[in-house]
């Protein structure tokens, strides 16, 4: 494998600091690593805040790293809030994630069952807030089986600015309704968020249906690295959907995990060992992200 396989690559899913949750690195440290690795840039994902202002500042400090802002439509930004999307887009954000930690689909699967099970850090925050009598309602984008008016307004704002719609942790019913309507309303850039993650797991057949709307399927390093999916299943899905419709990202930032450049390189090496070509890898980490980020 060529040493420069990461040259020009983007990681469209990084949890960098500062953040509410503990993070392994902040944006300044990561930008330096991105530059040294030969990567082109990364997207700063926060479950709680619009990160585009951080990106603007970071470009002044490290102009050779394209630090890209984004927003996730959880309750801390008003949920399904077209004004928040408008302001995020105006300030340079390139990705809008539909609800993640506050999605009804995610909460219903993570916060139920065994009360002694280990919870993700974001779920612990929800429990802390509940103990302080701060109740966070879950978010669904469907009402009586139809997309809410707020959701339609968000779709139109995404289309207006030609930025990326990412599906977050929505249910399959929500995702299909959202993607079909977004396609009809002129959204040209769609990512189906980590398709092999347990709470959002999509069959290959469903992924192929979503591809027909121009959507890219996202596979994250953390999902298989943490044992949430068998790596062979990730390989199978990528093969069947084909690299033409895939992006690889890391979802990294957790304090005990590697840096994103390390994770993306390990992901690339394992896929090459599994029979993918270097050109296919670069399509998934360079070419496809570039198409999504293009103006």
pLDDT, tens digit (0-9, with 9 covering 90-100), for 148-173: 999 999 999 999 999 999 999 999 99
Q: What is the pLDDT of residues 12-66, one digit of tens each?
A: 999 999 999 899 999 999 999 999 999 999 999 999 999 999 999 999 999 999 9
Domains of the chain: 10-293 (3.20.20.140)
Over range 226-241, report the average pLDDT.
Answer: 98
Q: Specify the residue for token string 């099970």.
A: 117
Give the pLDDT confidence score for residue 135 in this predicted structure. Answer: 79
Give the pLDDT confidence score for residue 114 in this predicted structure. Answer: 63
Q: Specify the residue for token string 């949920």.
A: 79
Name the pairing type of β-strands 95-97 and 142-143.
Answer: unpaired
Weakest mean pLDDT among 22-31, 104-113, 119-128, 270-279: 119-128
Give the pLDDT confidence score for residue 2 in this predicted structure. Answer: 59
- pLDDT above 90 for 126: no
Give the pLDDT confidence score for residue 1 in this predicted structure. Answer: 59
- pLDDT above 80 for 124: no
Please report how many Cα atoms fall inside a 13 Å half-sphere around the Cα of residue 26, on the Cβ side: 7
- Report how far residue 7's alpha carbon sits from residue 64's, in angstroms, rounded to the nearest whole number: 12
pLDDT band at 241, cuts 50/70/90?
very high
Mean pLDDT of the chain, nearest integer = 94
């Amino acid at each position: 494998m060529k040493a420069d396989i990461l040259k020009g690559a983007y990681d469209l899913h990084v949890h960098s600091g500062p953040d509410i949750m503990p993070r392994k690195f902040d944006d300044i440290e990561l930008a330096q690593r991105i530059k040294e690795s030969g990567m082109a840039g990364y997207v700063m994902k926060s479950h709680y805040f619009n990160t585009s202002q951080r990106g603007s500042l970071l470009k002044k400090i490290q102009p050779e790293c394209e630090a890209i802002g984004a927003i996730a439509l959880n309750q801390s930004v008003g949920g399904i809030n077209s004004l928040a999307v408008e302001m995020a887009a105006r300030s340079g954000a390139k990705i809008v994630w539909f609800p993640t930690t506050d999605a009804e689909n995610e909460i219903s699967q993570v916060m139920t069952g065994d009360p002694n099970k280990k919870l993700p850090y974001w779920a612990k925050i929800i429990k802390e807030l509940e103990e302080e009598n701060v109740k966070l309602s879950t978010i669904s984008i469907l009402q009586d089986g139809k997309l809410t008016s707020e959701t339609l307004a968000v779709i139109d704002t995404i289309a207006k600015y030609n930025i990326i719609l990412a599906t977050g942790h929505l249910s399959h019913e929500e995702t299909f309704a959202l993607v079909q309507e977004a396609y009809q309303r002129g959204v040209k850039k769609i990512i189906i968020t980590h398709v092999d993650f347990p709470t959002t797991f999509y069959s290959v057949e469903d992924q192929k249906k979503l591809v027909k709307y121009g959507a890219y399927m996202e596979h994250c390093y953390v999902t298989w690295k943490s044992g949430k999916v068998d790596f062979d299943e990730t390989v199978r899905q990528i093969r069947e959907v084909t690299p033409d419709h895939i992006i690889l990202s890391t979802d990294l930032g957790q304090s005990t995990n590697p840096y994103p450049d390390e994770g993306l390189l390990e992901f690339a090496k394992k896929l090459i060992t599994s029979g993918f070509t270097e050109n296919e890898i670069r399509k998934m980490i360079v070419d496809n992200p570039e198409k999504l980020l293009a103006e």
